[in-house]
Each structure stands twice: as C-alpha cells, then as structure tokens.
Amino acid sequence: MFLALAVTGVALDVLTKVWVVARLQPGEPVPLLGGLLTLRLIRNPGAAFSSGEGFTAVFAVAAVVVLVFILTRLAPRIGHPGWAVALGLLAAGVAGNLVDRVFRAPGVLRGHVVDFLQLPHWPIFNVADACITTGAVLVMVLAVVKNVGISGERYTRTAPAASAADGSAPTSTSPAPTTTPTTPTAEPVDEAERG
C-alpha cells in the first residue's frame, strides 16, 4: 500500500505538471467550478507558499534527506494501514517536488517547482503539495489523536507522576503504597454470650 500510493502520487504529480506546462501560460488563469478552483501556472523557486526563494538548493537536499529517511527508516517498520497511507502520501509529495528541483530549469537542485492549483484565499499549490499536507494531517491524527504507533501498537496516555520534594524525578513508576489509619473497634459480641 505504501509503495502503491507513493508511485501513484509521484506519477499523478508529474503528469499533471507536464500537462499544465504544455497547456497553460503564466498570467492566463483558467477558472473552473464557478471559480472555486482556478488553474494558474507559476514556477516556485522556494518552499511552501513561495517562502525561502533564495534557498532552492537547500530545499532540494533536504527533500533527498527526508525521502531517504522515509524509505529506509520508516517504511520498513510500517505495520498499520493508516501509516502506510500517510507515509505513502508524504513520500509521493516529497519525491514529486524533488523531480522538479532536479530536472526543471534553471538547473539541477535549483529547478523551480510547478504550481497550478488555486483555491479562494489560498496560495497556489500542486498535487505533491496536496499529498504532503494530507499525509502530515494523517500522521498527526494517528500519532496524537488515535495514539497508534507506526508498527500498529497502541499507546495509552497516563498522567505524569508527581516529582519528589527535592525536584528530582521519581525513580519508580509504581504507585506509592497507601496506608489507612485504623481505629480500634469493639469486638462483636456473640448473641449466646449475652445471656
């Protein structure tokens, strides 16, 4: 599932960018769905939302590092379908934009990313960006909301133990024994002894 989503996501991202570059001209938007979605071609040298435009090569190298980390350290540990979807989408998004950084002008590791999808009051993005955003949201839901680890194990949240009086952390996680004060009580009197 991870590999299928990653490969499909990269293919869809690359194909849509090839189509957009061949059909659209910068500065000539194409409104769709009554203006809900607009196709508007731009070339982005920076990161998300066109930030960091002077660090294109840094973003390319960072993408390589992230992709290698996902493929070598995270993917082999996947034991839950939700994590397969989340990491597959993340890998697809990172790889899709990395293809632009490597193969598009002005040069290797300096290529500008093709963005073309625009929603009202939202920066222009592409299929790879959508994959990254969706994958990141799924990771947060799985790890924080559902408490599911990448291997499928489930975590339970417990309240942290109180610190010792001197400020140091307690050395044991077992609960401290509690004692209940006892008060002397009169022994029950047998009815036969009452006479």
Domain assignment of residue 169, yes or no? no
| DSSP H stretches of helix in the chain | 2-23, 56-69, 81-103, 127-140
Whether pLDDT at 113 is above 60: yes
Share of the chain above pLDDT 70, in %: 76
Tally of domains in the chain: 1
Q: Which of 13, 100, 115, 190 is catalytic?
A: 115
pLDDT at 155: 86
**Residue 63: exposure state from Cβ atoms within 10 A (0-12, 13-18, ≥19):** buried
Query: What is the per-residue pLDDT for 40?
Result: 96
For residue 144, count other CB atoms closer than 10 A to its CB: 9
Angle at 107 between CA 134 and CA 90, to 5 degrees: 15
pLDDT greater than 70 at residue 168:
no
> Span 1-20, mean pLDDT?
98
pLDDT at 53: 65
In Å, how far from its chain's centre is CA 187? 66
Q: What's the rounded mean pLDDT across residues 165-171? A: 51
Q: Is the pLDDT of residue 21 over 70?
A: yes
- Domain range for 62 is 2-18+37-145
Is the separation of the CB atoms in 22 and 104 below 8 Å? no
* 52 located within any domain: yes
* Residue 129 falls in the annotated catalytic set: yes
Q: Is residue 53 part of a domain?
A: yes
pLDDT at 49: 54
Q: How confident is the model at residue 7 (pLDDT cuts 50, 70, 90)?
A: very high
Q: Tell whether 171 is covered by a domain.
A: no
Of 10-24, 44-58, 128-142, least confident by mean pLDDT is: 44-58
101 has which bridge partners?
A: none
Our answer to whether residue 190 is catalytic in this structure is no
Which segment of 16-20, 49-53, 80-84, 140-144 scores lowest on mean pLDDT?
Answer: 49-53
Evaluate whether 101 touches 64 at the Cβ level (below 8 Å). no
Query: Does position 174 have pLDDT exceeding 90, yes or no?
Result: no
CB atoms within 10 A of CB 118: 17
Lowest mean per-residue pLDDT among 58-62, 82-86, 130-134, 185-189: 185-189
Distance CA 10, CA 135 (A): 14
Asked if residue 112 is part of any domain, the answer here is yes
Residue 171 has pLDDT above 60, yes or no: no
- Tell me whether residue 163 is in a domain: no
Residues linked to residue 114 through DSSP beta bridges, in sequence order = 43
Read off the pLDDT of residues 46-79 as tens digits, 9 standing for 90 and up: 765 555 666 788 889 999 999 999 999 999 999 9
pLDDT of residue 176: 44
Distance from CA of residue 160 to its chain's centroid?
A: 26
Q: Answer yes or no: is 29 within a domain.
A: no
Domain assignment present for 24: no
Q: Are 67 and 6 in contact (CB under 8 A)?
A: no
Q: What is the pLDDT of residues 31-46, one digit of tens each?
A: 999 999 999 999 998 7
